[in-house]
Amino acid sequence: MTAAPSPSPSPSPEVLAAFEAAKGFMPVHEGLALYAAATEAGALGLPLLEVGTYCGRSTVLLANAARSAGVSALTVDHHRGSEEQQPGWEYHDPTVVDPEVGLMDTLPTFRRTLHRAGLEEHVVALVGRSPQVAAVWAGPLGLVFIDGGHTDEHANGDYEGWAPHVAEGGLLVIHDVFPDPADGGQAPYRVYLRALASGAFTEVSVTDSLRVLRRTGAGI
């Protein structure tokens, strides 16, 4: 008789409520898949890193998984907004524009998100552009979650900068992977295909636009 599969780990109702209350675009079911991946990766005893913080919605889940594992969650963002969040674009939110400089600044909202969730001490916020931060990062990571800019330049830059740091057995998670161009931009999908074609990563799970891959070989 085959045993039933173990249920995926889930955040507490309080953490899930903080996730849902935060500004952002990730739906709950994808967030739960991310949380399960972060919980698994946390067992490696290495930091969990995301590229693309915005206002901290997904950071809440990574931080809670990191807290449970006794590791740190790292989040990389320049906090000036990605292409589709600029004025005149679909995902622009005028409430996160700094009135003094006239540019987006999601950092204060992100800090409030973590404070409300009680998770500030478990997160290291790396404020800067992803390739610049990656260039000075040297350590291995248990998980890399790519959810930054959606142009080919930015998506490939995030992959090339951070995927090399995914430890053996660690997880690479890519968001907004849309095989059908009618559903969304194709840059994350092309990065996902690139990761699979490299032979370094093997697919673990698919939850709508969220892909979880495991490092099973060298390189990127």
Q: Percent of the chain at pLDDT above 70?
A: 92
120-150: pLDDT as tens digits: 999 999 999 999 999 999 999 999 999 998 8
| Cβ atoms of residues 48 and 38 within 8 Å | yes
**pLDDT of res. 8:** 79
- pLDDT per residue as tens digits for the range 57-70: 999 999 999 999 99
pLDDT tens by residue, 176-202: 999 999 999 999 999 999 999 999 999
Task: Provide the pLDDT confidence category of residue 3 given band limits of 50, 70 and 90.
Answer: very low
Q: What confidence tens digit (pLDDT) does each residue in 9-26 have? A: 889 999 999 999 999 989
Query: Residue 85 has what pLDDT?
Result: 60
Is 78 an active-site residue?
no
Nearest one of 200, 206, 191, 92 to 147, comparing CA atoms: 191
The pLDDT, as a whole number, for residue 9 is 85
Cβ proximity of 110 and 54 under 8 Å: yes
**Strand-strand pairing, 210-215 and 201-207:** antiparallel
- Which one of the listed residues 78, 79, 122, 150 is annotated catalytic? 150
Asked whether the predicted pLDDT for residue 1 surpasses 60, the reply is: no
